[in-house]
Amino acid sequence: MRISWKTLLHWYFIFLINIIFIICPTRLRADAFSEEEIKIDLPGGRSISGSYICADPEKPTCVLVAGSGRANRNGVLASNTGPLRDLAINLKNKGIGSLRFDKSQLNSSSGRQYDCSIELVGKEIKECICFLENSKAICINHIGIIGHSEGGLAALEVALVNKVAFVITLNSPGLDGEEFIKNQIVITATNQKSTQNEIDNELKFIDRVFFLIKNGQSRQKIRQNLESLEFPIARDPWGWSTLYKEKLFDFYTSDEYRSLVQFRTTSIIKHVECPILAIYSSEDTQVDPVANLKSFENSFLNKQSSKTLIVENAGHFLANRVSDKAIDQKSILLWKNCTLNHNVVDVIISWLGKVSF
């Protein structure tokens, strides 16, 4: 069958229209939230990998820092999405850039599982800041840090000795390490309906852990000492199985736990010169929003640009409480069927708009 040149021309124009009005806009929409995968090499054979979103060069760029343990760049245990990624996308919508990273022992990064002290995370934040400072697409005076939970402590430590534009903490300890841990134990045990005697036994046990850590005992010595003690009942959700005991031994002897015990939050807050925004969630069952917020306020002294507040209907991982009640804790840690509480986003964007850089 012979096709006329008019028919060919007709289909050619249809093809062009598809390219211009369908394919191109789709590509632009995808690029609007595109993330650049980065890798930063560190001394000692370590490396950290992360996701970089470049935004308006006249607006801030944030290093987003996940919480303790195995939380990845997105703020959860094992997911390619999560509260920090949701936050990054919402910030991008307002022209604010971000870099979030996997701590050096996670995912494609290299390192040992229990190396992740607050000080080490702080060093990795500084490497991320150096990466941003070498970028020509942003203003180096507009780089700040947003840290979730224990990641907020690392952010404060970095801001203490390095010039950053601002620090935002999300459900981070405001109490000093030992006091925070004891407060957390009481909250957890109370939620588990433990008796006062059980709580007292657990606090005695943890005092022994503190004593060993402050006396500079090695991991092996701490472990040997703890093995000889009777474990408190209040922390016994599975009948003190061998597996659970092993996890606790690993935790109590880790660099991460040691650094938390010895962390002096209140002193650091007093001496950080940049503006600080401390956000807490009303429904947080892991970090007491009232006690830790009060500690921040007491440490702010005369920092007029610093602020604290409690966001309603949000849990520890910043999910909407509606989602929190509908699903179990495991689903939250994997960020399944969860949505970021948009009050958190609104507060951050509003506050950054008032901060002078």
pLDDT in tens, 91-140: 999 999 999 999 877 644 545 555 689 999 999 999 999 999 998 778 88
Classify domain 36-174+265-354 at the CATH class level.
alpha beta
What's residue 329's pLDDT? 66
pTM value is: 0.85
- The residue among 297 and 4 whose pLDDT is bigger is 297
What's residue 118's pLDDT? 94
- Taking the domains of the chain in order of start, what are their residue ranges? 36-174+265-354, 177-260
- The residue among 68 and 98 whose pLDDT is bigger is 98
What's residue 115's pLDDT? 62
CA distances from 4 to 7, 9, 13, 15, 18 (A): 5, 9, 15, 17, 22
Give percent above pLDDT 70 in the chain: 79
**Beta carbons within 8 Å of 257's beta carbon, 6+ residues apart:** 213, 251
What's residue 243's pLDDT? 55
Tell me the pLDDT tens digit for each residue of 88-102. 999 999 999 999 999
What's residue 43's pLDDT? 79
Tell me the pLDDT tens digit for each residue of 200-257. 988 998 999 999 999 888 888 888 888 777 766 545 444 445 556 677 777 888 889 9
- Binned at pLDDT 50, 70 and 90, residue 356 comes out as confident
Both tokens assigned to 296: 């921040």
Tell me the pLDDT tens digit for each residue of 20-54. 444 443 333 334 457 899 999 887 777 889 999 99
Q: Average the pLDDT over 3-9 and give the result.
A: 59
What's residue 239's pLDDT? 45
What's residue 236's pLDDT? 47
Q: Is the dihedral of CA 126, 130, 135, 140 positive or negative?
A: positive
What's residue 175's pLDDT? 97
Mean pLDDT score across all residues of the chain: 83
Q: Which residue has the tokens 């534009």?
A: 165
